[in-house]
Chain A
Amino acid sequence: VDAYTAHHEELFSFLCSATRDRDVAEDLLQDLFLRLIRQERSGRLPDAVRPWLYRVASNLVIDRGRRLASGRRWLERLVSPESAEPADAQLLRREQASTVELALEHVSPEARVALLMSGHGFSGEEIAAAIGRSHNATRSLMSRARVTVRQHLGAEGAAP
């Protein structure tokens, strides 16, 4: 409960930005804390809980974007005419996202997770450990992603 109280808000925000889907973020947050509970009950509570939470959260987001989840992910995104979200509702939902979050949609889930972790105060090395890539691969991934995000922010006229 202490870990939940201390970290749930920042992790939920992280997951919302990473998945761009509040329902999915809620699912993943529940899954994340249940995994922490499982660790605690099996006597394997990690020494550093916050990095562990971000590491597992990153895995959940990235794995979700990978092959095994793809069928269900896309199935849930497909909408029939009778159940389709009205276009104005979609527009409203997208407007609620900040410009930078919309720009983050243009990079892969892995890169998005990395940039968001950076925004949450993690170093490049810590991010590399979390996403399971080497120092050089993570540096390349993040620097290219930052340039891509900048290009889309510039194209949308929202540069600071």
Chain B
Amino acid sequence: VNDHERILLLAAAAIDFPLALAETDELEAHLRSCTDCRSAAARLRGDAAQIASLPRRRLSDEVERRIVEAARGARPTGFRPSLVLIAAALLLAATLIGAAVAGALLLRTRELPFSLVPPSARVTAVPTSVAPTPTSTAAPSPTRPPGETWQVVTGTPSMSDLVAGGPGWVGVGGGAWTSSDGRTWTPATVDGSDSAMTAVAAGPGGYVAIGENHPTDAQGSGQIWFSADGLDWQIVGSGPAFELGPCIEGCPSMIDVAGGPKGFVAFGYRTGGATVAWFSSDGQRWETLPARTFEVAGSAVSPSGIAAGPSGFVIAGSIGSPGSDGAAFWLSPDGRIWTHTGPDRTTKPIERPFAVVAGGPGFVAVGDCWDGDKICGATAWTSPDGAAWTQRTIDASELPAFAGAAASDGDRVVAFSDAGTAVWTSDDGLTWTRHEVDAAPVSVQAAAGGDRGFIAIGLDETETVYSAWLSP
């Protein structure tokens, strides 16, 4: 950065932040003597004024009606699936649950092998088989299996992924952190200060994180970092082989990474949605996998998660176009050669996995089911080897449960709703137990499991403070 560029950054910073006295003096002195910089600074202020005067948009009458209806107490109708349907259903459920589950009843567990009842029935007619356990989320019982009692720790960094390792946990987001207990987080040293990490994995010799460096590069370059210990991260993948393309109505993204005995596999989307993937045997030297590695008969593909297990790597995602798409899985024993392992079903209702983990019988994927108009339930898939998959869909009356994150400690799998009041556990991937947790995480962004139990990072009940949920 030369003097003129630095002055331009100072002039830009001055629009939003008070400068230090020395910075102000330096800026003013430079602008007095540099006509070009003076003009450039004025243009920056002009841009800010343009942003401030962007035209107001008018909301459609239909959406306005739904919101006002909800605010006045009626259950809104006609909401789109995704975040809104989840939130609407959650609103209703939270109200009812709040009335029924008062006082010290902080967690309730019930076996629900995919025969779920509507939220209203769940609250107003608690079956006798339910044994309310006054286990405080503030003092998890060590006798209960992991994933069933949770303790919240408010005020953590905002993370987009976690993995068991380092002193206990390694997390990434707008930086990297380590923690021995999930409560206190120590920032790591990260090469590339303007980059954001999106996912992390443990594998041979250390840890790999993936992310992008959009703040300094409008071309949306992907980046890969390696760390032997989770404390010091060096960029090992950047440049032309990792270019993702420009941001056009959204930025291309690095999506996920997994590490196993054979190495690491990372993948992302280029502008326009084409999948690009990389392999490394040691996490430090990377090769780009051939284009069309994941293509299926010319269909659009959309991988959404990757896991590594004893039989190799598995990617879960979707194939087809919106409205005629369906779940898809790919398997690779070595991370380089990939096979589409189905299922090929692309009829309605549409089931789409959002996350896959190694656990249960081998691999477990979780996602939702969409009938073209609304979310019709949560869906789980299991496979012993990544080749043959079994699918189960939860009753349509239940909230979509698995739209958020999933984690495994190798045996047991936990899953979280996107804005949930509940945590789900399963030992086989097909039979799930729903645990209603007081002050459950909202918008879970990251989750991991390991020898120390489970951890999830999300927003707290105020929707504003990032917090950790720990289940020893």
Contacts and interface: CB of A to CB of B under 8 A. Distances in A.
Interface of A: 1, 4, 8-10, 12-13, 16-17, 19-23, 25-31, 33-35, 37-39, 41-42, 44, 46, 52, 55-56, 59-60, 63, 65-68, 70-80, 82-83, 98, 100-101, 103-111, 115-116, 118-121, 123-125, 127, 132-133, 135, 137, 139-150, 152-154, 159-160
Contacts of B405: 68
Contacts of A77: 249-250, 273
Contacts of B59: 8-9, 12, 26, 29
Given A46-B462, A108-B251, 12 more contacts: A38-B90, A44-B462, A59-B443, A59-B464, A68-B404, A78-B300, A80-B300, A107-B247, A108-B247, A123-B16, A159-B43, A160-B49
Given A33-B67, A83-B323, A110-B196, A146 B95 contact: no
28 contacts: A8-B67, A13-B57, A20-B249, A21-B249, A29-B59, A30-B66, A30-B79, A30-B80, A33-B70, A34-B70, A37-B70, A42-B461, A65-B251, A66-B198, A66-B445, A71-B318, A80-B300, A106-B218, A107-B214, A108-B251, A118-B16, A123-B16, A142-B12, A143-B9, A144-B194, A146-B12, A146-B15, A160-B46
Contact of A70 (B54, B95, B255): B255
B121 interface: no
Given A59-B443, A137-B174, A152-B218, A116 B247 contact: no
A89 to B, nearest CB: 13
Contacts of B113: none
A100 B43 CA distance: 12
Interface of B: 5, 8-10, 12-13, 15-17, 40, 43-44, 46-60, 63-64, 66-68, 70-72, 76, 79-80, 82-84, 87-88, 90-91, 94-95, 98, 158, 160-161, 174, 193-194, 196, 198-199, 212, 214-216, 218, 246-251, 253, 255-256, 269, 273, 300, 302-305, 317-318, 320-325, 352, 354-355, 404-405, 418, 443-445, 459, 461-464, 466
Contacts of A21: 249-250
A30 to B, nearest CB: 5
Contacts of A103: 47
A73 B403 CA distance: 13
Nearest to A66: B160
Contact of B51 (A38, A65, A100, A147): A100
Given A29-B63, A42-B94, A144 B216 contact: yes
A26 B66 CA distance: 11
A141 B83 contact: no
Contacts of B16: 118, 123-124, 127, 139, 142-143
B173 to A, nearest CB: 8
A105 B248 CA distance: 6
Given A67-B198, A68-B404, A73-B250, A31 B13 contact: no
